[in-house]
Amino acid sequence: MAGAALAIGLSFGSAPAFAYIEAWQGDDNAKGFESDRRLKACDMEADTNAVEGEYFRVYDNSSSHLWDKNGAGPDNCVKSGAGAVLNKVRVCEQQFAKPDACGSWAYRI
């Protein structure tokens, strides 16, 4: 019985201390880092389309935008400055002569 209790305790002990916020659109992504106080937007496609990380911070009702404008991919990222914790994030990719392609909003857990 003591072994079962120990195994359960170890499984809970291995859980991460916090979850970070992450959003996707195709292969492009935006994710929080430094305890979700900064955002990194990454253009992972070499398609000449700019990628935008749109985000809201806790207690702020206005959106902010982080642009990777060169559309170069792969693994081409830009980073925001630090601020209040990120509340929700989404990624959009500019499309030539058509509306931007945006992924779903991701929310902080």
The answer to whether residue 13 is domain-embedded is no
What pLDDT is recorded for position 18?
56
Q: Which CATH number goes with the domain that contains 98?
A: 2.60.40
Is residue 2 in a domain? Answer: no
Q: Give the pLDDT confidence score for residue 19 in this predicted structure.
A: 60
Q: Is residue 25 a part of any domain in this protein?
A: yes
CB-count burial class (<10 Å; 0-12, 13-18, 19+) for 81: exposed
The model's pLDDT over 14-63, given as tens digits with 9 standing for 90+, comes to 444 556 899 999 999 999 999 999 999 999 998 889 999 999 999 999 99
Number of domains in the chain: 1
Does this model's pTM top 0.85?
A: no
Mean pLDDT of 65-75: 84
Contacts of 7 (CB under 8 A, 6+ apart): none
